[in-house]
Amino acid sequence: MANPQLTDEQQLIAKQILVNVRDQLLANSNGDGDLLFALRRKVQKELMHDERGNATHRNRIKKAKRAEQNDLCPICEVPLPEKDCILDRFEAKLGYTIENTRLIHMECDRAEQAKKNYA
């Protein structure tokens, strides 16, 4: 399923949120460039975790998917390598859950993304 797209009105709302966040970052850093950098990083990391969960969460799911899939890529049915596997979501908005993911080869992910015109 395609990712949801914002309407023009929703794009304006998102831009205003971004302006507000930037204003707060600048105000709270009091001209300290190092603090501004650290605050931006912290906000970015937390927003990313809101969508993706943290690395520990995703690693638990990868381990479970590897076992569930008998260590095979569900696309090409070739054994998965120890590293560099992709936890692929069926619907991005549903996040990284056991039900909404599969563990696949990096090459299979690239091919899937190309089919969807994402790559």
Structural domains for the chain: 8-52 (no CATH), 55-115 (3.40.1800.10)
CA distances from 18 to 2, 22, 25, 41 (A): 24, 6, 10, 14
pLDDT tens across 70-92, in order? 999 999 999 999 999 999 999 98
Here the tokens at position 31 are 């001209």
Confirm if 119 and 113 have CB atoms less than 8 A apart.
Answer: yes
E strands, the chain, in order: 85-89, 101-105
Mean local confidence (pLDDT), 51-65: 93
Q: Which residue has the tokens 């299979």?
A: 108
Q: What is the pLDDT of residue 53?
A: 86
pLDDT score at 119 = 58
The CA-atom distances, in angstroms, between 39 and each of 2, 19, 42 are 32, 15, 5
For tokens 């909404």, name the residue.
100
pTM, 2 dp? 0.74
Tens-place pLDDT, residues 90-113: 998 899 999 999 999 999 999 998
